[in-house]
Each structure stands twice: as structure tokens, then as C-alpha cells.
Amino acid sequence: MSDLPVSPLAPGAFPDLPAIAGVRVATRACGVKYKGRTDVLLAAFAPETQAAGVFTKSLTASAPVDWCRKCLTGGVANGLIVNSGNANAFTGRLGEEAVEQVVEAVADRLACRPSRVFAASTGVIGEALNFRAITDELAAMAGDLAAGGWHAAAQAIMTTDTFPKGAAAEAAVNGRTVKIAGIAKGSGMIAPDMATMLAYVFTDAAIPAAVLQDLLADACDRSFNAITVDSDTSTSDTLMLFATGAAGNEQGFSGPDDPALADFRAKLEAVTLDLAQQVVRDGEGASKFIEITVTGAATDAAAKTIALSIANSPLVKTAIAGEDANWGRVVMAVGKAGERADRDRLNITMGGVTIAKNGLAVDGYDEAPVAAHMRGQEIDIAVDVGVGNGRATVWTCDLTHGYISINADYRS
Amino acid sequence: MSDLPVSPLAPGAFPDLPAIAGVRVATRACGVKYKGRTDVLLAAFAPETQAAGVFTKSLTASAPVDWCRKCLTGGVANGLIVNSGNANAFTGRLGEEAVEQVVEAVADRLACRPSRVFAASTGVIGEALNFRAITDELAAMAGDLAAGGWHAAAQAIMTTDTFPKGAAAEAAVNGRTVKIAGIAKGSGMIAPDMATMLAYVFTDAAIPAAVLQDLLADACDRSFNAITVDSDTSTSDTLMLFATGAAGNEQGFSGPDDPALADFRAKLEAVTLDLAQQVVRDGEGASKFIEITVTGAATDAAAKTIALSIANSPLVKTAIAGEDANWGRVVMAVGKAGERADRDRLNITMGGVTIAKNGLAVDGYDEAPVAAHMRGQEIDIAVDVGVGNGRATVWTCDLTHGYISINADYRS
């Protein structure tokens, strides 16, 4: 929905997402800020739809994030309202009132309690949200509610995204097939005034909220919490999972590790990872998609810290933009991560080719295959730090003139 | 010494630095890597010169850093040898041997123990240091040793720096005037293969090593540890202070807080701060020098964490490059710092003009004076986070197309 050209790393087309029994959506051009495009998404859920959520760790979180955190204690969702164009962040008491006005109006239309309506706003921060632009259209939107419509839903929540993001999967739960469909927005990780990350996943599985929350938190750790574009954290980042129960699978799970949930767990992670990687592929100015795997760390958490240190290093990211297999910058990023690493047992490979082994450049290292790998769009870096069994994989994109242009040359 | 144009933020000229009694220096074009320029600095100190040092926190520190840490336990320095062109980092056992060969050769020339010779290397990493290029020239260099010569010394240690960096001061210690002279190199903070930060400060004051170390660590915290260009940490960062004692001031200090050292302490901090700010002014691609002050934090340390979160945010730095007073990005950076802040008591000023107060954009905010400030080369941002009395000031530069060009377009 932005004027920017579609990212060169974008998938070919929006995927085919199934309708989810118990979920209806509607979108509309309410003119919150943008003209000539949809900017509000309304979703209505079956009565006992279970909800789970993971939110920004920012200490200056937006008013809608505060609202969702509070409502999530109830575990049940009947509605969801999302607007683009205005983030309703750093808006003080006015921001809280705007959220209340909007969710109360949605609750009236869906005949449910306001505390069962979740909300999100993404766009410019520090400006009062013109909530009447939304509430005035809710009657019409409620009339439009229908199953499916994911492509339109993904488009309505875009800000500087250059393509809408969706992913789907099926999973077997106690002999029933359940469906999972997800949409996301985000490009740049994350500017509060332009690129908040939002992701919503919907399923017809019957899974209680407490179990759902654990499943979502785990999936998030290995997907949305394993990607970075520029190390910045939005005031509004939100990932939510809604389970309508319409698939009618048997319940009584012992917890998130119940074997009956193994397939669902794997497929949920696949959907969140697909969405998260699409966010990276829409990273501001991105020309290359980078996968970084760290092994041999003291713990998995240490491995992730080291991997993110590499992924967030401006010097590593600019080297890759320049198609330079600059392993010295990788060493630097390992060193600054603050986690244990054995300099004399460090191994580094790029594109599967070993560049440095046991802390030294490989004798007779042939740069040609690595140089060819660096000219591609998909870059793999693997580092073994030689002290333990901890491992982690994270994803990022390169840092290019395009990023500077988007964030410096265009005045917001 | 690089082919890049001199930074627009550079001072007018190299300052007039005094000779320091007890210190002699020599420089030479040894051809370690660069051609047609000096690349080695040798310094010789009076017999009981006291030494202090602060080194990179990187866990993949270079061989010379390991060497200096070990030697510093002795507290006495008789010599210093620095080369540019090769960082002797990530060079394993070969790197350690190269350091030993060089310091032993220097020790022979200066008739002292090798453990009293400090070393540093800056330049490309992962390549074996051709130490014979240095040792072959030491006899000639020893013959050239002379007092003064700071401008030449600052030039010999440059890599991608666009101007040599020096600063000086005088201080009163127990009724005697002592001199302080310092040189530094660094541009970009910090690429291991191009822009390691090195700084050396020399004084004729008589101060024992243990006290000197505390004075230097404190000065470093408020200068070199309060600057950032790109959040990257070199494998070789080194700050050392040598005190020859030639000024003959009375000693017997109770510690670093002895009132007799108050003036020296202040002047030392002024010299290190001047040098540190010159490094920022030579930041890769820098077009603006930015001072960020955070007040009202829970502690001074929390204030510094928040200030560095703002200073390291690519979104803040690109906004400033675009001359955009984008306070929303400052809010975002405060939020992601992870330190306590009261969203509803946050105040933000730029160029002395209040933009947001008590968590809200100021009513009737006039952008004109702030926009004028943003068009200048010296940008001031002040944030009060409203929870306590902690405060800190840090310095950085903007993130421009020039940074991307230097680090991506030019292959190393």
C-alpha cells in the first residue's frame, strides 16, 4: 500500500488461505489517515473463541497494547479491530479513551463485552486517533462480515509494507484436521511511525487459552523473536492467536507438550515463521535475505544472543549489501555479543563453504564459490563458537542505500 | 590517510600539542600494508613511567590487546609500538608470536624488559602480520626518537580516519603544572578491518599506576565509553595513559579522589572527551554531530543505557540525517532500552525547544525553530524520563548514505 516498489525478495503471490470456521472478517476505507485504500479490519469470532497474545517489550507501549494485555487475562475473544494510519501511541489519556470508544462500539455491534474485543493501531505516533472515523463505519462493516477474505484483511493493516503477508497450514489434532491461517504486516523492525509489526493467526482448533498461550509464546520465540531488520522495537508489536474450536477436536490436553498437540505445534510454528520471514523479506531497502545459524554456544539463549549480534551489526549488514564475504566483521560481532566463545575454535561458513576454522582463515581458501553465493539473494552464514551445544537460527536482511532513503530522504 | 574527503565535522587544524618530558616518539613508513605513508609509531618512556589502560570488552580481542592486559599488571612502561594496516586479530598462535617478536625487538633497542613494551595493531584482520617489516626498521626508528612530533604520531596510526586527532591540557598538581597530550584514531565505532579505536595519552605528572588506572577508567566512562557511531565493537580498542613523572610533583595521593588530583582529573577527562568527540566527528559518513542527554532516569547507568539506545537507533540516526525532528523515534528508542521510564512524564527537547511534555506533543508546537536546528551540523537532544535523578550524556553522529557507501560499496 506504500508508494515504494514491491520488495525484490517478495513471494510471487499472496497464498491461498482457507476460511476458518468461526471467524468472519470485513475491511473498509474509513479514512483514518490514508485516502483511497482500506485502513480498518474488523473480525468477529464464535462465542467461546480462545485467545493468546505476545506483545512488544517496549516500556512505552501503545494504548491498544495496554488494552490487549488487560483483556487477555479473560482468555476469550469475540472481536478484533485494527486500524492503519495512526498508531495511537504516545497519546496519553486521550489514547486510552480512543481505545475504549472503539472497542465499546465494536462490542455493541457484536453483542459482546468490550473486554472481549481486542484492538491494534499502526501508523503515525503522537497524533490523536480520530476514532470517529472508525466508529462511524462499524454498522456498515458489521453487515459486511464474512468468512475468508484474508487477502483484503492483510492489505487493510499495511503501512509501509510493499506486499500483503499471509500463510496457512493444516494440522491433525486427535484425529481431526484443523486449519490455521495467519496474516501479518511489518517492514523494518520497527519504526513506530511507519512499520509496527502486527500478526494475527486464526484456527478452528479447540484448544484452551492457557495452552494456546504457551504454544504461541514458543512459536514466537523461534519466529518473530528471531528476526530483526534494524534492531529497533516498536511501541505496538502484537502477535495474537485465536482458536474458535469449530473443528470440534477432542480436548483435555495435559499442556503445550501434550503429544496430541505435536502436529499443531509444528504447523503453528511453520505459519508464524513463514509470516516472520515475509516481514524480513519486506525489510526497508532489503536486497538480500540472510539466515544466520550459531552453534556450539554455551546455551540456546547464548546462541541467539550471538546470532542477533551478527544480524544487527550495521557493518555485517552493509558488507552483505556490498556482496563482500567479510568474515572479519562476523568475528567482531561474535566478540561484542558478550557471550562465551572460544576465539581459537571459531568456525565460520558462508554458503556452506568453510572460510575460517579453529580461529584461523582456512589455508588456501578459495573465495570464488563464496563470492558467487554473496551475489545471490539468499545468504547463509553459520558460525560455531566452540564452547557447548547451544544453537539458534535468526533471519535478517542487508542494510542498503534503500534503508537510508526510506528513513532519511523521505520526510515523515 | 584514506582517500575519503575530510569529514565536514573535522576541527579546523591539528591542535598545538606540547612536548611531554620523558616521552620521545618516532614514526616511519615501514610498508606493513600501506604504501607512501607512515604506518608505525614508536614511543620511548623515562625509566619509571607509570602506565594505565582500558581495552575492548570484545571476547575475540586481538593478540596485542591480550599482551597489553598481561603487561599492565607490572604498571611500568618503557616503550610503545603501534602499527596501522594490519590488526593482528583472529590470527591465532601466529598472532601471539608476531607480538612477541615485535616487543622483543623494541625491548632490545630501548634496553628494557619486553614486558614493559606495550603494543597495538590496527587494520585488516585475519591476515598474518608481517612483523619483519616493523622489526627491520626499529634501529633507524630508535635513532629518530625525539620529543614532540605528535602530529606525525597521530598520522602514523590512522586507517580510514579522514583527519589526525589530538588534544592537550595543563593541570595543577600539588603546586606544579603538569602537561597532558593525547592522540587518537578511529572513525566508525568500530570495524575490525578498518576503524579500530586507539587512543594514547601522555603526561609528565608523577602519579602511581594504581591511581592512574582508576583516573583513566573514570575518564573513559564519560568519554570513549559514551560515544558510538554504529554500535559495533572492535577487537582492538585500546586507551592507554602514560605518566613519566618528569614534572616532579609531590606524590602520596590517597587515591583517585585525592583533592590534589582534582584538577588533573578534570583536565584528563577534558582531553579524553575531546579525543572521543573527534572520533565521532570522523564517524563514517557523518554529516551531523549529535549530543544526547538523558535525565530523570532511575540511576546514572540507566540514563546511559537509554541515551545509548537513542544514539544507536538506526531510525533516530537516519531521521537526523534527513533533518527530521522525528521525536516519535526517540520515544521508541527510550521504550526499547529496557530501563524504567514514565511514558506519561516523558519530556523531549531538541535544540532547546520542548517538543513533548508529560507524554504528549506540546500544544501549539512551533516546528520552525526545531527545523532550523536540525539543518545545522550540531544537534542537541534532551530527554527526561521522569522517574529519578540519574543522568548521562553521550555523543554520536547521523547515519547517512556515506556510511553505506564506505562499508558496502567499497570492497575491503
What average pLDDT is seen over chain B?
Answer: 90
- Assembly ipTM: 0.75
The answer to whether B408 contacts A60, with C-beta atoms less than 8 Å apart, is no
Q: Which one of A217, A251, A281 terminates a domain?
A: A281
Find the Cα–Cα–Cα–Cα dihedral B22, B28, B33, B36, rounded to 10°.
140
Give the residue on A whose Cα is nearest the Cα of B125.
A328
- Strands A198-203 and A238-243, bridge-based pairing: parallel
pLDDT in tens, B70-111: 999 999 999 999 999 988 887 778 899 999 999 999 999 999
B281, B298, B315: which is the final residue of a domain? B281
A158–B contact, CB cutoff 8 A: no
Residues 356-395 of B with CB under 8 A from A: 356, 358-361
Catalytic residue ranges of A: 196
Task: Compute the C-alpha angle A48/A53/A56, nearest 5°.
Answer: 155
Kindly report, residue by residue over B367-394, the tens digit of the pLDDT.
899 999 999 999 999 999 999 999 999 9
What pLDDT, in 10s, does the model give residues B208-245?
999 999 999 999 988 888 887 665 666 668 899 999 99
C-alpha closest to that of B318 among B390, B398, B386, B380? B398
C-beta atoms of A57 and B338 within 8 A = yes
Q: Which of A91, A127, A314 sits opposite B230 (nearest CB)?
A: A314
**Residue A399 covered by a domain:** yes
Interface of A with B in 41-60 (CB under 8 A): 56-60
Q: What is the mean pLDDT of residues B296-311?
A: 94
Q: Are residues B330 and B277 in the same domain?
A: no
* CB–CB contact A332 B234 (8 Å): yes
* Beta-carbon pairs below 8 A across chains A and B: 230
Q: Are residues B352 and B264 in the same domain?
A: no
Q: Which three cell numbers stand for residue A15?
A: 497464498
CATH number for the domain that contains residue A130: 3.60.70.12
What is the pLDDT, as a whole number, of residue A196? 67
In this model, does residue B196 exceed pLDDT 50? yes
User: Are B267 and B294 contained in the same domain?
Assistant: no
Is a pLDDT exceeding 70 seen at residue B412? no
With 70 as the cut, is the pLDDT of residue A409 above it?
no
- pLDDT-derived band at A201 (thresholds 50, 70, 90) equals very high
**Mean local confidence (pLDDT), A65-94:** 91
Strands B176-185 and B198-203: antiparallel
Q: Is residue B3 domain-resident?
A: no
**Residues β-bridged to residue A295:** A384
Q: What is the mean pLDDT of chain A?
A: 90
What's the pTM value of the predicted model, to 2 decimals? 0.83
pLDDT for B186: 85
In a domain, A243, yes or no: yes
pLDDT for res B103:
98
| pLDDT at residue A135, as a whole number | 98
Residues A42 and A101 in one domain: yes
Instruction: Examine the domain organization and report whether B145 and B174 are in the same domain.
Output: yes
Which residues of chain B have a CB within 8 Å of the CB of A59? Answer: 334-335, 337-341, 343
B264 pLDDT more than 90: yes
CB spacing of A328 vs B192 below 8 angstroms: yes
CATH of residue B400 = 3.10.20.340
**pLDDT the model gives residue B27:** 98
Q: Is A203 exposed, middle or buried (0-12, 13-18, 19+ CB in 10 A)?
A: buried
Q: Does residue A332 have a pLDDT over 60?
A: yes
pLDDT at B202 over 50: yes
Decide if A14 is inside a domain: no
Residue showing cell 459486511: A144
Of B60, B230, B314, the CB nearest to A232: B314
- B269 and B325 in a single domain? The answer is no
For chain A, the domain total comes to 2
- Give the pLDDT score at B239: 93
Each residue's pLDDT tens digit, B61-72: 788 999 999 999
Q: Give the residue-averaged pLDDT of A282-295.
A: 93
Does A275 lie in the same domain as A357? no
Q: Which domain holds residue B112?
A: 23-281
Give the confidence band of B126 by pLDDT, cuts at 50, 70, 90. confident
Does one domain contain both A166 and A257?
yes
| Whether residues B192 and B314 fall in one domain | no
Domain presence at residue B2 = no
- B40/A contact by beta carbon, under 8 A: no
At position A42, the amino acid (one-letter code) is L
Based on the fold, state whether residues A381 and A248 are members of the same structural domain.
no
In this predicted model, what pLDDT tens digit does every residue of A231-270 receive, in sequence order?
566 666 889 999 999 999 988 899 999 999 999 999 999 9
- From the candidates B196, B228, B295, B396, which is the catalytic residue? B196
Q: CA-to-CA distance for B149 and B142, rounded, in angstroms?
A: 14
Contact list in A for residue B192 (CB cut-off 8 A) is 328-329, 331-332
Quick one: pLDDT at residue B194?
Answer: 39
Does A202 map to a domain?
A: yes
Among B197, B202, B250, residue whose Cα is nearest residue B226: B197
pLDDT value, residue A194: 39
Same domain, yes or no: B321 and B277: no
Q: Within A170-237, where are the H helices?
A: 209-221
Looking at the structure, tell me whether residues A237 and A360 fall in a common domain. Answer: no
CA distance B122 to B27: 15
Among chain A residues, CA nearest to B311: A232
- The nearest alpha carbon in chain B to A358 belongs to B92
Domain boundary among B281, B309, B343: B281
Asked if the structure places residue A88 within a domain, the reply is yes
B59 and A341 in contact by Cβ < 8 A? yes
B324/A contact by beta carbon, under 8 A: yes
Contacts of A58 in chain B (CB under 8 A): 332, 335-336
> CB–CB of A329 and B61 under 8 A?
no
Chain B interface test: which of A62, A90, A127, A160 (most B C-beta within 10 Å): A90
pLDDT on residue B365 = 85
Close Cβ partners of A349 (under 8 Å, ≥ 6 residues apart)? A355, A380, A381, A382, A383
In the structure grid, which three cell numbers stand for residue B74, read together?
Answer: 607490572
A319 inside domain = yes
pLDDT at residue B193 in the model = 41
